[in-house]
Amino acid sequence: MRQGVIRRFRGWLPEVPDHAVTTIGEGDTPLIEAPTLSERIGAKLFLKFEGMNPTASFKDRGMTVAMSRAVASGSRACVCASTGNTAASAAAYAARAGIKCFVVVPAGKIALGKAVQVLAHGAEIVQIEGNFDAALRISQQIAGDRGDVTLVNSVNPDRIQGQKTGAFEVCEVLGSPPDALALPVGNAGNITSYWKGFSEWRDAGYSGLAPRMLGFQAEGASPLVAGHDFENPETVASAIRIGAPASKEGALAAARESGGAIESVTDDEILAAQGLLAREEGVFCEPASAAGLAGLLKLAGEGRGPEGTVVSVLTGHGLKDPDVILDRVELPEPVAATFEAVAGRMERLVP
């Protein structure tokens, strides 16, 4: 049975009384060898497939802690701003906890699968005519205004605490920390979390050094690379379409202290990496999740890629965003229901 990250890593996490533990069996996601892509990047690559969490993104690791602590403190509702996955996760965990969920999202900017999840779980969704950064400001105000409502964005420290368990799992499965960890950076909570996890693991005296943290933003939403906020962030990778990252300091510290870096990749590089993961390794992640691999390919191409063992965190499942695929490839027209018509296609595929 999947016991969830709170029960599995209890000694490492903030206190949650038994009765308040709200879990759907998150964590314990696969670390998948990627032999073909390893050759491409010139290092031994593993994929930490966070799309295998209950709501199909890593957000569940933090949400279980944030929601459990909200329940323990007597909250009647949670609120969050979201580019989609935080909303999907909050909606599911609030349903599980039996409290109300209120999500604020940029109008028309949420990937289809994520919007469907929010609706399925019965959360209240408010679309604003503004971007994620505006949604976060408003959500913070709403939570600040009401003592019985908990903000469950990654500015809530319980989210960061829960998400650091991804680092513990990587260390456990590999037997020691990898040499480098690559991941997408949006609001910068997750890179902050992983660095916290690796640092705590090292400080607890387990073997190995903490890895170099390699964070990648989408070029059109790369405030940490440019050194200033983006008024109108734009990228196909909607999960990292953020112009003013709340955990900016955490991300910069992770890169600095680990000898890593935060760089940017283009939308074309992101989509190409998403395609390679799906077609060469059989792993389907959403566009934002492929930013880590896109970055590794870029560094390798420039002769400055990491060596040794490298983990790329695939933050969310590809089914979250079907439109990105359907924009580029179509289902073919039907053919006659005859052997000849169908066999002709097979012949074309494998002459």
Ligand X SMILES: *Cc1c(COP(=O)(O)O)cnc(C)c1O
**What residues line the site for ligand X (CB under 6 A)?**
57, 59, 85, 154, 184-190, 239-240, 286, 288-289, 315-316
In Å, what is the CA distance from 165 to each residue of 47, 82, 115, 226?
16, 22, 27, 30
The residue sitting closest to ligand X, measured at its beta carbon, is: 316
CB of 156 to ligand X, least distance (A): 12
Q: Is 192 annotated as a binding residue?
A: no
Nearer Cβ to ligand X, position 20 or 31? Answer: 31
CB of 246 to ligand X, least distance (A): 8
Nearer Cβ to ligand X, position 62 or 306? Answer: 62
Residue from 201, 161, 149, 153 nearest 14 by CA: 161
Beta-bridge partners for 217: 264
Burial group, residue 111, by CB count within 10 angstroms (0-12, 13-18, 19+): buried
CB of 107 to ligand X, least distance (A): 19
CB of 284 to ligand X, least distance (A): 12
Q: Is 190 annotated as a binding residue?
A: yes
Tokens of 326: 């359907």
Nearer Cβ to ligand X, position 60 or 281? Answer: 60
- Count CA atoms within 13 Å of residue 111 on its CB side: 30
Q: Is 175 annotated as a binding residue?
A: no
At residue 265, φ and ψ (nearest 5 deg) are -135, 155
CB of 96 to ligand X, least distance (A): 19
Nearer Cβ to ligand X, position 120 or 342? Answer: 120
Tokens of 329: 């490839």
Q: Is 189 annotated as a binding residue?
A: yes
Tokens of 62: 């933090």
Helix (H, G, I), strand (E, B) or coil at 123: coil
- Which segments are annotated as binding site? 85, 186-190, 315
- Which segments are annotated as binding site for pyridoxal 5'-phosphate? 85, 186-190, 315
